[in-house]
Amino acid sequence: MYAVIMAGGRGVRFWPRSREKKPKHLLDIVSEKTIIRETVDRIKQRIPADNILVVTGKKHARDLIRQLPEIPLSNILIEPVGRNTAACIGLAALHVRRKAPEGIMVVLPSDHAIADSRKFIDVIGAAAQTASEENGLVTIGITPASVQTGFGYIERAGLLKQVGQAEVFRVKSIREKPDFQTASAFVQSGNFYWNSGMFVWKASVILREINRWLPDLYAGLMKIDAALGCPEEAAVLPRVYKKLASISIDYGVMEKADNVLMLNGDFGWSDVGSWDALWEISAKDRSGNVVLNNSRVIAENSEGSLIYNPRKLTALVGVKDLIIVETKDALLICKKGRSQDVKGVVEKLEEQKLKGYL
């Protein structure tokens, strides 16, 4: 069994901490460890370091290698350019298939938080067994805790089998990021789960499905495959990869495939997609305030806020539900519940060509 950790993305909703040179997964946002470090430590309970592959970009490779010294350099796969998750997963599948023609891939985002590692490992084990026995595309669904429009949804069909303590369901449909009314209907139905972005399958099976649903992408991957390990790899990979379609594995394959199965990931999952999401999963004081990274805070008649300011004393007086994040060159003050809109700040910085803040 192999793990493939997707370590791309910018984490723009975590500005001003998350920047182009050091995105969210390379930061100590959830705990004293960086998120990528926590992700690797968690999956190492089941999969040895020699079988863990990390797909990342040129900008972040050096930092990532420094943070993960136990991962072999040959397992750090560097994308010449970002081309979304279908290309990322396809590239990793080529490498896994070369190591083990029927190898199982556990595909994980690099920047999620999981409260119960033991349950997570149990579910991953059951998913791997299912992928081996059924030759299907196995995904992990999360029971919705609320109505969310920022997540994709998985519609559960009937029970297929039981693997240990885990139930395996057929999947009727996969829906990407609905509007609020649709998401509300999904949650009320009881048959929909959040799409966690975690997948388990044989490398050969996902390549077969990419060939079926994304034939042009597959053709490009085959050109890359022919060059892997050869002198021309350094030239072929960037030339071909930049021409690959930029499409997610969800849109490109999962929404169309007819062999998708799901296990419930009841292990305290969070995508940690915003400052609000971090407030939700973090320890709070009696007033509901979250104080990060040993920031010094005095709060008078103030509640429900999140504060990151390790350099200075922060004093709150008579305020409620704020997000306050200060770095050496920027200060964010945001009303709690609106931190998804921080992405708009980054877009404005790009428009105004203020690269020093990105």
What are the pLDDT digits (tens) for 21-59?
899 999 998 888 999 999 999 999 999 999 999 999 999
Task: Answer whether residue 10 shows pLDDT above 80.
Answer: no
**Strand pairing report for 296-300 and 313-317:** parallel
**Strand pairing report for 113-114 and 313-317:** unpaired
- The range of the structural domain enclosing residue 296 comes to 276-357
pLDDT given at position 273: 87
**Strand pairing report for 2-7 and 52-57:** parallel
Q: Are residues 30 and 146 in the same domain?
A: yes
pLDDT given at position 108: 98
Q: Are residues 261 and 285 in the same domain?
A: no
**What total of structural domains would you count in the chain?**
2
- The last residue of one of the domains, among 219, 248, 273, is 273
Cα 167 to Cα 1, 132, 134, distances in angstroms: 21, 16, 14
Q: Are residues 193 and 93 in the same domain?
A: yes
Q: Are residues 217 and 342 in the same domain?
A: no
pLDDT given at position 31: 87
pTM equals 0.93
Say which CATH number the domain at 189 has: 3.90.550.10
Q: What is the CA radius of gyration of the chain?
A: 21
DSSP letter for each residue of 48-77: -GGGEEEEEEHHHHHHHHHH-TTS-GGGEE
Q: Are residues 268 and 295 in the same domain?
A: no
Q: What's the half-sphere exposure (Cβ side, CA atoms, 13 Å) at 302?
A: 20
pLDDT digits (tens, 9 = 90+) for 201-252: 999 999 999 999 999 999 999 999 999 999 999 999 999 999 999 999 999 9
pLDDT digits (tens, 9 = 90+) for 295-345: 999 999 999 999 999 999 999 999 999 999 999 999 999 999 999 899 999
Q: Are 252 and 214 in contact (CB under 8 A)?
A: yes
Share of the chain above pLDDT 90, in %: 91
Q: Are residues 145 and 168 in the same domain?
A: yes
